[in-house]
Structure 1
């Protein structure tokens, strides 16, 4: 069967794609950067597309051509430079359903979410709910699956945050520590999608996917700490009021394109926990792996510990570089005449002042641009190039600065290392 997967590069979508390929299906994925996706997943055919731009049925007709089934794993937590919830989770889906009704698509499998309970008025769940209702009313043969918190070998979003919290030294600061959380293995999700693809569910089936046990957030974090092989640490409950500045900062980062799991939508959902709907359908016979069983089936390695420890350091690294470069540009501009004195032995006053202002402006631009996800890679590369240029220029024009007690050139070396480390952890998937 030829299957089109939306969100095939994601945590859940990639696991589903791998399972369906093992089942012998021909899989096509949509991706914003298909060349990169093709390198990582060569057995999948890739189509370049951005869901945010596919809001009319005509945008889908060519894409759906020759496919028999569509699986939607695409989703985003909040609006930002990298995501448009209204476009990707609602308008694009309504356009897809309209186009699918006029095509040879035999079935649509929707990976949705629990759209009731905590955070149900947040745009993430509102758009999901509207898309689900539209699919149910479309007349298409469809199955809707609603996973709980998904755990697996890899991690993204909430599962990545669990690992990061578990790796904090000495104490574990937690908000909503007693909130109940149901989990499901990503392998189980992929297996159930495989069952849906085989046509073993009736059209209109709407199932919550969760293991039989619910753990508190506190228990889940401790479980992940044990999985990482770290010694016990004391739980420190954090009042929700004290967490608001952190959520506010995460929301700002989201607007700049960074997909932080600490944004207000996630906090709203966690305020009541992640639990099945009271009226939910469940699998009649298949037993789903518990959180303990999922982690035991995927033993951690040193790479998991590194990831967990670096996850919360990453925003601090980016923020630290931004502050360093912004201040490097702003402070000399407050006294440009004094700042330009280093150039005076080598060039006229006017050129020295112009060069000082130009380098200050460059520093400010790099410091600002690294804060936005779409421009962060270019900014980090620019920081490396600028720093090497400053070191080369300083060495040629005034090599004695290497021996200066304040170390203006020597201090640039740690900046280079921090920039390289940030480049190494920049990718989110």
Structure 2
């Protein structure tokens, strides 16, 4: 049985490649740094849990013994708290290629349409450098460059399209001049299998794309119809300046671990257009990639799709609301410690400890939920602390339950919102 290793095996493209290679008769090993993400993506698969850029050439030689093909589907859109473009797109590829030079295996590099050394974003420039390493130093290789990949899974650009298409009543006109081509993830996976089987000659560099182009507003409108949402009532134009501001906010969140599809790299790539030329792939003997309409026909939009699109749209609002609520509640208590103490008890010392300690805890949780690695735990801690506040109020300040403004009753919606965030937070 032939053997394949897939870097980034639980990503959007990598997971599709693993399934297709396994169906084609390969023994497949996925590589990624998150055990939980790997198990969620494919618990039955064989996994190598490692941070890919940290794997040395000597380690790769051990892992690649007896391997027929290596598929590099790993990548990151932009530098952030968890991602280093130079490490993942260049250093990791250099080490992999160095190890593979002495082994009889083919490297299939998944790149991106439009990469070049002079591209407008670091993503494309580092991807181009990785491609150059493969084409210059690898013995047996194929480089595949998909355009915007559409899949039943939703990360990055595909998640952005779903969210934009799900805005109630509104369809903001964004990047009206951007021209986009798409490709079905199944066609990308089939191309990888063809390359792995040797049906594509070594040295092939090919874009994987449909032939037709779409403006970004038209693509969003098509996704809206596919999801089954009603036509928008308003179509306001969004100025580029406003879009740039949103991108900078998303970049800031990237340093807190959030991989927002609205970061400046994604917006710049969309603004420049995502286009490719299918000629090289067809000349190499590859099957033509499906047009957008046929792709969507392979991806029926169910109730789950609509719920995901709306949830993806509202999650930032929910997290921002929780952060603001908890930070403000803590600050207000600190600004009027005596007033808060008066509500709790006549004994100033214990009441002071409770007020100040609770305020610090509130502010801490409000800030922690903004940090992606701790967001889920922060939401769960908000629920626990809110329940503690409710229980403590029965003993220390039962009169609050009879207050006409209902301060304690209003804690319950906060618990519910934190529970929603905790349950919906999911790692790739």
* 1:157 and 2:150 correspond: no
Q: Name the residue aligned to 1:341.
A: 342
Determine the structure 1 residue equivalent to 2:189. 190
Matched, 1:400 2:385: no
Shift of 1:35: 5.1
1:27-426 correspondence runs (5 A) = 27-34=28-35, 37-38=38-39, 40-54=41-55, 56-102=56-102, 104-116=103-115, 120-233=119-232, 234-276=234-276, 281-284=280-283, 286-345=287-346, 348-426=347-425
Deviation (angstroms), 1:179 = 1.2
Q: Give distance in 1, aligned partners of 2:204 and 2:117.
A: 24
Contact 1:115 1:126 (8 Å CA) reproduced = no
Q: CA deviation at 1:144?
A: 0.4
Cα distance in 2 between the residues matched to 1:119 and 1:357: 55
Offset, 1:152 = 2.1
Cα distance in 2 for residues equivalent to 1:249 and 1:119: 26
Secondary structure of the 1:282 match is helix
Whether contact under 8 Å (2:345, 2:396) holds in the other structure is: no
> Retained in 1: the 8 A contact 2:107–2:138?
no
Greater CA drift, 113-122 or 141-150? 113-122
Taking structure 1 as reference, are residues 198 and 261 closer, same or farther at Cα in structure 2, changes over 3 Å only?
same
Following the alignment from structure 2 to structure 1, what is the Cα–Cα distance between the partners of residues 167 and 131?
38
Cα shift readout 1:26-71 (whole Å, capped 9, x = no counterpart): 00011223355235413320111012433x3234233323322110
Give how far 1:416 is off. 0.7
Contact preservation (8 Å) 2:114, 2:276: no
Task: Name the count of aligned residue pairs.
Answer: 424
CA distance in 2, matches of 1:136, 1:107: 12
Contact 1:384–1:416, Cα closer than 8 Å, also in 2: yes
Which string of whole-angstrom CA distances, capped at 9 and with x for unpartnered residues, describes residues 297-350 of structure 1? Answer: 2211111111111212111111111111111111111121222223324xx322
Task: Compute the displacement of 1:117 (Å).
Answer: 7.5
Q: 1:350 to 1:47 in 2, by over 3 A?
A: same
Structure 1 residues not aligned, in runs of 5+: none
Q: Which moved more, 1:113-122 or 1:411-420?
A: 113-122
SS in 2 for 1:110: strand
* Aligned equivalents of 1:183, 1:236: Cα separation in 2: 25
SS of 1:172's equivalent?
A: coil
Q: Distance in 2 between matches of 1:283 and 1:44?
A: 32
Q: Does the CA-based 8 Å contact 1:112-1:144 persist in structure 2?
A: yes
Distance (whole Å) between structure 2 residues aligned to residue 149 and residue 119 of structure 1? 20
Q: 1:372 to 1:153 in 2, by over 3 A?
A: same
Which whole-Å deviations, capped at 9, do the CAs of 1:376-412 have from their partners, x for residues lacking one?
A: 1111111111111111111222222112122121111
> Alpha-carbon deviation of 1:351?
2.5
Mapped contact 2:146–2:208 kept (Cα < 8 A): yes
SS at match of 1:427: coil
Query: Mean Cα displacement is larger for which, 161-170 or 233-242?
Result: 233-242
Q: State the TM-score, normalized to the length of structure 1.
A: 0.94
Deviation at 1:362, TM superposition (A): 0.8
- SS of equivalent residue, structure 2 residue 282: coil
- The residue aligned with 1:14 is 15
Task: Judge which range, 250-259 or 35-44, deviates more.
Answer: 35-44
Cα separation, 2, equivalents of 1:105 and 1:362 = 57
Higher mean C-alpha deviation, range 228-237 or range 89-98: 228-237
Moved more, 238-247 or 109-118: 109-118
Counterpart position of 1:5: 6
Is the 2:100–2:138 contact (alpha carbons within 8 Å) kept by the matching residues of 1?
Answer: no
Asked if structure 2 preserves the Cα contact closer than 8 Å seen for 1:73 and 1:111, the reply is: yes
User: Shift of the alpha carbon at 1:263?
Assistant: 0.6
